[in-house]
């Protein structure tokens, strides 16, 4: 997951999940002013009026300005709202706070009109001034998540035309204007945070939002308790309380689903058979995710050794180990998911060739190479991926030492000083290829690879400056081929996410299964 991204969406960056995938860094202290919630403490978790959902770790940040992991973005989506969302797999734009979003013909501005009568959870009106304030603080690079609000060397700026109208001015033409401006920036209230000068931390002093729920209590490593917001623009939620239970062990999650202690969670394919007799529905859905093996370039600077590793691997066997059957995944070859309209397969795919891998090891001049692979031990799929990678690399004479830690992204960010050479990850960046610059542009905030190639940087610039879709496709095709040739990133698959949800919960179709957030609008869930 991390911008740390996890996310980014569609013709726009969702923001990034990234999934960088995982990680549960310390998100800061719990809200000291909040009161307890009996359901959160473990008693009567299936009591009427409460939806209990298991998440695998603490959010990296509860701050919507800089959060980028799956659970931080999920929290932001529940408590705050963006101007709009774009479906990461279809590119469909769905207005949220915005009533309309209109790009100028010259591509140098975007005008957003807000819905009338929007309210913050404290009853104050939500206006264009709040939008301008949010985008202004988010564009500050020191706050940690500004990349997509800059074009080349200048920021996108926002101006309040009137109380309900905001004009975003771009320093240069951008084909990704709506993508980078209109979505996945969660609006925060100026009247609450206007005097705050630093938004680089993991928490805010208060959590006044406009989303369907408000924060009641956060107890790290245990739960996040939320109460319905009666002022939500989509109508007061049907379920009064939501509890995000923090459960890192997958077997514990499965058992809690079977007993009804929790109402919902993501599960892995290997668990679905065991849930067949439980009172749950199992719902697979696409996220437009890329699961991958990444290289920390300063730790493995030898290109021939990186290529040797990639040729030693068989992505089909890695994917089968993690997701069991082809119905659960589609093999990936590029930095873009295979469903992305800009994805190409005209690149080096590194189809398995053990003899070639052995030859490249010899040419690398590295005797008996040993590499450390970081992965998340609480993730059963990453465990499976790591085991296959270790076994296959050994056949080419490359020793892989496994390092399982749920905070391995913190270690990766040390670059040359990291104890990790390789890592298993995944991300959801959406439809517009410009969002992937967060990962692969030199010095970008989610460039975990410490990768730098001026040709790739220029191709990102060319792609976003292109005036026709054909020109964009050409630039991004060359970009994908260049990254592949540099052997920094080994794509594995675009896998389905699997939601298991108690049959007492209704409204799932209306809530909408969504990339990263699980539900597009949590307020639409009901109790049967």
Q: Is residue 472 part of a domain?
A: yes
Q: Is 434 helix (H, G, I), strand (E, B) or coil?
A: helix
> 86: how many CB neighbours lie within 10 A of its CB?
27
174, 465 in Cβ contact below 8 A? Answer: yes
Q: How confident is the model at residue 513 (pLDDT cuts 50, 70, 90)?
A: very high
Q: Is residue 464 part of a domain?
A: yes
Q: How far is CA 502 from the centre of its chain?
A: 25
Q: Is residue 367 part of a domain?
A: yes
> 107: how many CB neighbours lie within 10 A of its CB?
16
Strand blocks (E) in 258-363 = 264-267, 280-285, 289-295, 329-331
Structural domains counted in the chain = 1
227, 240 in Cβ contact below 8 A? Answer: yes
Q: Is residue 348 part of a domain?
A: yes
> 197: how many CB neighbours lie within 10 A of its CB?
8
Q: Is residue 343 part of a domain?
A: yes
190, 133 in Cβ contact below 8 A? Answer: yes
Q: How confident is the model at residue 27 (pLDDT cuts 50, 70, 90)?
A: very low
Interval 281-327: pLDDT, tens: 999 999 999 999 999 999 999 999 999 999 999 999 999 999 999 99
Beta-carbon contacts of 466 under 8 Å, excluding residues fewer than 6 positions away, are: 175, 472, 475
Q: Is 348 helix (H, G, I), strand (E, B) or coil?
A: coil
Question: Domain residues for 482?
Answer: 289-495
Pairing mode, if any, of strands 84-86 and 329-331? unpaired
β-pair partners for 16: 7
d(CA 108, CA 154): 13
Q: How confident is the model at residue 206 (pLDDT cuts 50, 70, 90)?
A: very high
Backbone torsion region of residue 172, taken as left when φ is above 0, otherwise alpha when ψ lies between -120 and 50, otherwise beta: beta
Q: What is the mean pLDDT of the chain?
A: 90
For 155, the token pair is 């920021």
Beta-carbon contacts of 402 under 8 Å, excluding residues fewer than 6 positions away, are: 372, 373, 375, 386, 387, 390
20, 1 in Cβ contact below 8 A? Answer: yes
Residue 90 is predicted with a pLDDT of 81
Indicate whether 60 pLDDT > 70: yes
For 515, the token pair is 């990339």
Share of the chain above pLDDT 70, in %: 91
What is the Rg, in whole angstroms, of the alpha carbon atoms belonging to the chain? 22
Q: Is residue 304 part of a domain?
A: yes
Task: Identify the weakest region by mean pLDDT among 14-18, 107-111, 459-463.
Answer: 14-18
Interval 210-268: pLDDT, tens: 999 999 999 999 999 999 999 999 999 999 999 999 999 999 999 999 999 999 999 99
Interval 364-373: pLDDT, tens: 999 999 999 9
Pairing mode, if any, of strands 50-55 and 241-246? parallel
Indicate whether 47 pLDDT > 70: no
Q: How far is CA 435 from the centre of its chain?
A: 11
Q: Is residue 490 part of a domain?
A: yes
Better pLDDT: 103 or 36: 103
Of the candidates 206, 234, 238, which has an alpha carbon nearest to the alpha carbon of residue 81? 234
Let me know if 324 is exposed, middle or buried by CB neighbors in 10 A (0-12, 13-18, 19+): middle
β-pair partners for 90: none
319: CATH: 3.10.105.10
What secondary structure, in 3-state letters, does 272-294 show? HHHHCCCCEEEEEECCCEEEEEE
Q: Is residue 184 part of a domain?
A: no
Of the candidates 470, 291, 464, 301, which has an alpha carbon nearest to the alpha carbon of residue 382? 291
Beta-carbon contacts of 256 under 8 Å, excluding residues fewer than 6 positions away, are: 54, 245, 247, 262, 265
Backbone angles phi, psi at 101, to 5 degrees: -135, 115
């Amino acid at each position: 997951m991390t911008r740390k991204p996890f996310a980014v969406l569609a013709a726009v960056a969702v923001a990034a999940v990234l999934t960088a995938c995982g990680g549960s860094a310390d998100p800061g202290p719990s809200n000291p002013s909040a009161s307890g919630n009996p359901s959160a403490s473990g008693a009567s978790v299936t009591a009427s009026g409460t939806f209990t959902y298991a998440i695998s770790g603490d959010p990296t940040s509860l701050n919507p300005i800089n959060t980028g992991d799956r659970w931080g973005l999920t929290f932001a989506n529940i408590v705050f709202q963006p101007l709009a969302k774009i479906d990461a797999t279809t590119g469909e734009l769905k207005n949220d706070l915005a009533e309309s979003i209109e790009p100028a013909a010259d591509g140098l501005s975007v005008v957003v009109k807000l819905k009338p009568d929007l309210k913050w959870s404290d009853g104050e009106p939500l206006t264009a001034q709040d939008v301008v304030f949010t985008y202004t603080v988010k564009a500050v690079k020191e706050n940690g998540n500004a990349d997509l609000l800059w074009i080349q060397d200048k920021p996108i700026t926002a101006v309040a035309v009137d109380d309900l109208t905001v004009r975003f001015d771009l320093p240069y033409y951008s084909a990704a204007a709506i993508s980078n401006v209109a979505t996945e920036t969660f609006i925060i209230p100026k009247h609450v945070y206007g005097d705050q000068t630093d938004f680089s931390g993991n928490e805010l002093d208060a959590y006044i939002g406009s989303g369907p729920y408000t924060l009641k209590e956060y107890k790290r490593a245990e739960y996040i308790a939320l109460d319905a917001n009666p002022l939500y623009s989509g109508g007061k939620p049907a379920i009064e309380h939501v509890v995000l239970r923090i459960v890192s062990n997958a077997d514990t999650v499965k058992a809690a689903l079977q007993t009804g202690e929790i109402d919902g969670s993501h599960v892995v394919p290997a668990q679905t058979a065991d849930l067949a007799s439980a009172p749950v529905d199992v719902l697979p859905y696409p996220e437009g995710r890329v699961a991958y093996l990444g290289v920390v370039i300063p730790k493995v600077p030898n290109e021939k050794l990186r290529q040797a590793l990639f040729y030693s691997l068989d992505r089909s066997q890695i994917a089968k180990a993690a997701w069991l059957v082809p119905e659960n995944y589609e093999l990936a070859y590029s930095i873009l998911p295979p469903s992305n309209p800009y994805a190409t397969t005209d690149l080096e795919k590194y189809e398995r060739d053990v003899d070639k891998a052995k030859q490249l090891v010899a040419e690398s001049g590295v005797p008996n190479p040993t590499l450390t692979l970081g992965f998340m031990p609480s993730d059963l799929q990453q465990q499976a991926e790591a085991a296959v990678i270790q076994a296959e690399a050994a056949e080419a004479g490359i020793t892989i030492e496994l390092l399982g830690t749920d905070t391995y992204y913190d270690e990766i960010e040390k670059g040359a000083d990291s104890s990790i050479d390789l890592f298993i990850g995944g991300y959801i960046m959406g439809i517009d290829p410009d969002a992937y610059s967060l990962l692969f542009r030199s010095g970008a905030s989610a460039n975990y690879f410490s990768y730098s190639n001026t040709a790739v940087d220029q191709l990102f610039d060319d792609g976003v400056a292109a005036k026709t879709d054909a020109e964009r496709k050409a630039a991004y095709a060359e970009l994908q081929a260049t990254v592949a040739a540099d052997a920094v990133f080994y794509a594995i698959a675009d896998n389905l996410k699997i939601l298991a949800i108690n049959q007492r919960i209704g409204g799932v179709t209306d809530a909408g299964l969504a990339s990263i957030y699980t539900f597009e609008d949590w307020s639409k869930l009901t109790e049967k």
